[in-house]
Structure 1
Amino acid sequence: MPSDDVTYQDLVDRISYSDRYSDDEYEYRHVQLPRQMLKLSASTESSIFFEPDSNVLRLLTEDEWRGIGITQSLGWEHYETHAPEPHILLFRREKDYQKKYGNGMR
């Protein structure tokens, strides 16, 4: 758990969201977690960031990334991990998602 000086909500409040960027197929963004958040998860018995019983990073489901405090509109998927910076999560969604689907899920 965080020290007395830092609460989990303090860590959630420090999550940083990049501007969106795109190619012909997807729009992208990256979400930077406070390093302390990743360290806290890694020190627990069941870290959501790593494959069980290994140091291999894994992709998070929408319920998992929302559960740790990441907030974004619908349609985003965690699509890639980057071992040198595991506290930076890479997301993408279909280009023009909101125009195509509005607030609903496809």
Structure 2
Amino acid sequence: MTDMDYNRRNKSPRPLTDSEKARLDEFIDSIHYSARYSDDNFEYRHVQLPKAMLKAIPKEYHDQSKGTLKLLWEEEWRALGITQSLGWEHYEVHEPEPHILLFKRPINYVPPSQ
């Protein structure tokens, strides 16, 4: 497993405007979450967005050179309507299927105390 290329994400999270959020609302119920799977260090899951949703996501979230989404900060993927427990990190986009986002988190992840 290689280290993440943090150049593939925005320098800081780019919040969505209210009108951008409104455009994405219709897709939220169609987001599909895989079962979790793991190796010795991480648990993984992939999140499949409806293909039409990609067109509604702001261009600042897209990596024009790859034709995929950038690696998204937690604030960004949550703003898109992806809901999952704490600790998940968007670490890769499946280029042949750019609507599939790959997430990982350490095995036995314990969220920081509030």
Alignment TM class, shorter chain as reference:
0.7 to 0.9
Q: Which residue of 2 aligns with 1:55?
A: 65
Q: For structure 2, which runs of at least 5 residues remain unmatched after alignment?
A: 1-18
* 1:77-96 alpha-carbon deviations (Å, 9 max, x no partner): 00111211010000000001
The match for 1:79 is 91
Paired position in structure 1 for 2:50? 34
When the two structures are superposed, what TM-score results if normalisation uses the length of structure 1?
Answer: 0.75
CA distances 1:3-23 after superposition (whole Å, capped 9, x unpaired): xxxx63231110000000000
Which residue, out of 30, 34, 41, partners 1:14?
Answer: 30
Query: Quick check: which has more Rg, 1 or 2?
Result: 1
Secondary structure of 2:26's match? helix
In structure 2, what is the equivalent of residue 104 of structure 1? 112
The one-letter amino acid paired with 2:50 is: P
Query: Aligned equivalents of 1:90 and 1:61: distance in 2?
Result: 13
Q: Which runs of 5+ in 1 are unaligned?
A: 2-6
In structure 2, C-alpha distance between the alignment counterparts of 1:19 and 1:66, rounded to whole Å = 19
Q: TM-score, normalised by structure 2?
A: 0.71
What letter is aligned with 2:86?
Answer: L
List per-residue Cα deviations over 1:59-93 (Å, max 9, x = no partner).
11101100100000000000111211010000000
The equivalent residue for 1:68 is 80
Matched residue count: 90
SS of aligned partner of 1:66: helix
Match of 2:3 in 1: none
Counterpart in 2 of 1:23? Answer: 39
